[in-house]
A and B are shown apart, each in its own frame.
Chain A
């Protein structure tokens, strides 16, 4: 007997069939989301092996928990919650209090923000839209984001790289809107500060 194909089936129907233990429907869900899950995991873990483990763990969790998905949120929001939990569970070691302390200084403008315009402007010249991130610049960006605490990194990735809203990010992470905004503010400022001393050389050297 020929197996039913869900390739062109709307997502809600695929989910319903997968909830009713239709394995072909479940496989289709995995096919649609495996790249998204893997890339998102990598952006948080910054490590291919951990991203691979997270990919496996996430879809095993989805397989086990799919029946509890009630459709009140978007499927992708529900999925991101599982991915985030899997990622952060692996990474989380320090207490939140330590993390809050570690980035508090980024709640204020950088020292010397006033009166240093020329310097800032020179360092952050116009970045070409079609910039290719490779070599030393890639290493620099990688080093900066790896040194950002994971609980902040995940907010930065969701809001600024994946383009998710503050509300969705807050819901996925179980944070208040204010806490989400505060973490994003600190994460952006932290990364900018990490890159700042190196920017003139890289930006000026670009075509």
Chain B
């Protein structure tokens, strides 16, 4: 396997169990090619860095606004339902 093909397959199979015949071929290539192995490591580390990035939480102001909006929408639906009920 050439580096070009390995490059595509490394990316496609980064997080998969390398047991299919094609994956075994990639594994063999990686053993022989330190460049591709290093490239694979660098891709894994790129992903690890992004997974480690802090994630924000919903600010309490936004939470309150969201529930206020949804309560208004719910109220409108309740009124419509009650109105429809009276008509029938």
Contacts and interface: CB of A to CB of B under 8 A. Distances in A.
B70 to A, nearest CB: 6
Dominant SS at the B interface? Answer: helix
A188 B35 contact: no
Interface string A55-74: 11001100100000000000
A113 interface: yes
Interface of A: 21, 23, 26-27, 30, 34-35, 38-39, 42-43, 48, 51-52, 55-56, 59-60, 63, 107-110, 113-117, 120-121, 123-124, 127, 131-133, 137-138, 141, 145, 156, 160-161, 181, 184-185, 188-189, 191-192, 195-196, 199
24 contacts: A23-B71, A23-B74, A27-B67, A34-B63, A38-B58, A38-B62, A39-B55, A48-B56, A48-B59, A63-B70, A109-B4, A109-B39, A113-B7, A114-B3, A120-B39, A133-B53, A138-B54, A160-B15, A160-B50, A161-B51, A188-B14, A189-B11, A191-B46, A192-B43
